[in-house]
Amino acid sequence: MAETIPEVIEPASAADYFEVMTRAVFQAGVRWSQIAEHWDAYRQAFAEFDPARVALYDDLDVERVLATAGILRMPKKVHAVIRNARVLLETEREFASLAAYLRSFDSYAALAKDFKKRFSFMGEMNVWYFLFRTGRPVPPFETWVATIPGEHPRMREMVERARQAGRSPEITAGAAAAAVDSAGSSGE
């Protein structure tokens, strides 16, 4: 069975970033284990997360993805993934790489605000998840999560595992307070 709690990675390609983003989109609002159990089906349905291939998907591809065993039958999420592939490629053209785009902001708050505007199904929770998983600086979990309604046990478990492995990209408390104040309470 696939690992329910994903690890922090060192992205080596656009496909690595796109895979993390896609997982964030599909995990939102469902049990993480439901997505993890079928992650190979997502990998196959979305062309090994090659954003150039997924960006070309049309209505027939959407139907094919939705008919794939194990994939959530949520057309809005499938369309969001396709749009995110296109936007990821546009962002890479604009900044030379997604990594360069992510480094182009002087704060978590500024990056989170722009990321939420650019990409689909990327609200505050998914932006933090995406940045954390790809090793980008994020506010400390306890400070940040206090701004997000609800309980988030899988996120907490992911953070604890990363901390234990020495792979947490959380930023210092002082910088985090400023980042949370300007980004976390936006309600987006």
Q: What is the pLDDT of residues 28-56, one digit of tens each?
A: 999 999 999 999 999 999 999 999 999 99
Rg of the chain in Å (alpha carbons): 16
In this predicted structure, what is the pLDDT of residue 125? 96
Give the pTM. 0.90
pLDDT at 188 over 70: no
Residue count of the chain, please give it.
Answer: 188
CA dihedral for 87, 93, 94, 96, sign (positive or negative): positive
Q: Could you tell me the pLDDT band of residue 2, with boundaries at 50, 70 and 90? A: low
Give the span between the Cα atoms of 168 and 175, in whole angstroms: 16
Q: Where are the domains of the chain?
A: 14-184
CATH number assigned to the domain covering 14-184: 1.10.340.30
Coil, strand, or helix at residue 170? strand
Give the span between the Cα atoms of 88 and 64, in whole angstroms: 22
Cβ count within 10 A of residue 137: 18
CA 133 to chain centre: 8
Q: What is the DSSP string of 6-36?
A: PPP----SHHHHHHHHHHHHHHTTS-HHHHH
Q: 81-131, pLDDT tens digit by residue?
A: 999 999 999 999 999 999 999 999 999 999 999 999 999 999 999 999 999
Q: Could you tell me the pLDDT band of residue 66, with boundaries at 50, 70 and 90? A: very high
pLDDT at 173 over 70: no
Question: Mean per-residue pLDDT for 61-68?
Answer: 98
